[in-house]
Amino acid sequence: MSATNLPLSGARLWDSLMEMAKIGGTPKGGSNRQTLTDVDAEGRALFQHWGEACGLTLSVDRLGNMVFRREGRDPTRKPVAIGSHLDTQPTGGKFDGVLGVLAGLELMRALHEAGAETEAPLLLINWTNEEGARFSPPMMGSGAAMGIFTEAEVLAKRDAAGAVFGEELKRIGWQGSADPAALQDCAAYLELHIEQGKLLEDGGFDVGVVTMALGQSWFEVVVEGAESHGGSPMAGRRDALMAAAPLISAVEEIALSTVSPAGEPGRGTVGVVEVYPSSRNVAPSRVFFSVDFRHGDPASLTKMGDLLTARAAEISVARGVTATVTPFWHSPLTPFDETLIARARASATARGYKWRDIPTGIGHDAVYMARKVPTVMVFTPCHGGISHNEAESITPEWAEAGLRVLADAAFETAGLVTP
Ligand SMILES: [Zn+2]
């Protein structure tokens, strides 16, 4: 039996998406199902019910990651895992994360209905706290499973109201006993997700095959000058904000002008700016701002940081201030697995979808999984690139295209067996 003949249903996937969206549903048509809340527990229970109804066995690990298993014919083979997350932002949409989990469920339903088997076991994962909205940082469940965070540090995290992650996990009844690190021992991991950008929609693409996660370099910049009265003459001022302003503009210029050999520009964001003393009639003496640079080419990413440092030095001299650029955090470019990428591309081509390769500039559970397990992601377009927003929307056709490419790549990897 080829994957084409399995009774995969785009309509059933869509119905399940709409059903899950009602849990924590918001008046504007989104979902507020933040991690480890009562509605998270309700969403988990519905997912458990659906998974068990198609013959899957659930295990829950010490961080609340839900892992459904479907045995394969060959008990010596490592499992092929599919997953994403059911938690949302406070003003989240219906699809971010949920699409990947429920597309995985649709694969399991189709296998169950057809009485089909795979050689390798299959896993279907709902990761705890991908969003990082209530407990920061994001992607805690997958990060701890892959050894990026310790379990103890995750369990001790507090939300803004002081509630402790580990206590909330127990309170909602979803702390299990399985070892999250066991998930490092998978043969492959596949994740379907909405793009959260508009390259696919603008180009008229049905599907994106995600080849890598962009490298990220974050910096902290401090500009120090001297306070002056707002009524003092302009000459001789050492206004830290007037020096910081062109340096902030340089972040965008550097991102757009640092182009990789493949022709791709970088991405640059200043998300936090703090001004001291922040008084209306005082020229500021100190400005702090954050810089987030991302690029799909490691040499270009390094160059972006170098250009920022050089610009800071120029501005320091020209304005008589001190501008210091300090590296804050770095995440290397994460390539996805060539074999899995090739399977996703071949599926999209065989099915006649219009597709392109695309990087992800956004963190996903797949990015942490890729540190230990061969991984690929598949993107579906989303209208206007809007996400983390109640207005997030996709079409049933896009969801189905993503589902089919995910299924083909997963079944080829796990070895689908004719009944
Ligand atoms: Zn997501």
CATH number of 3-213+334-414: 3.40.630.10
Mean pLDDT of 222-232: 97
pLDDT per position as a tens digit, 353-374 = 999 999 999 999 999 999 999 9
CA of 223 to the centre of ligand 1 (A): 35
Residue with tokens 């942490």, as numbered in its chain: 368
Q: Which of 386, 364, 385, 362 is CA-nearest to residue 376?
A: 364
At 415, the amino acid letter reads G
pLDDT tens-digit readout, 97-148: 999 999 999 999 999 999 999 999 999 999 999 999 999 999 999 999 999 9
In this structure, which topology does domain 215-331 adopt according to CATH?
Alpha-Beta Plaits (3.30.70)
Nearest to 307 by CA among 373, 258, 372: 258
Distance 405 CA to ligand 1 centre (A): 18
Domain map (residue ranges) of the chain: 3-213+334-414, 215-331
Measured in Å, residue 351 CA sits from the centre of ligand 1 at 26
Rounded mean pLDDT, 376-405 = 96
377 C-alpha to ligand 1 centroid (Å): 12
For 82, 195, 341, 399, the CA distances from 211, given in Å and listed in that order, are: 17, 13, 7, 20
d(CA 164, CA 328): 26
Residue 262 is predicted with a pLDDT of 87
Do 3-213+334-414 and 215-331 fold alike per CATH? no
| Dist. CA 176 → ligand 1 center (Å) | 23
Q: What percent of the chain has pLDDT over 90?
A: 96
pLDDT (tens digit, 9 = 90+) per residue, 250-295?
999 999 999 999 899 999 999 999 999 999 999 999 999 999 999 9
Ligand 1 centre to CA of 191 (Å) is 10
Bridge partners (DSSP) listed for residue 137: none
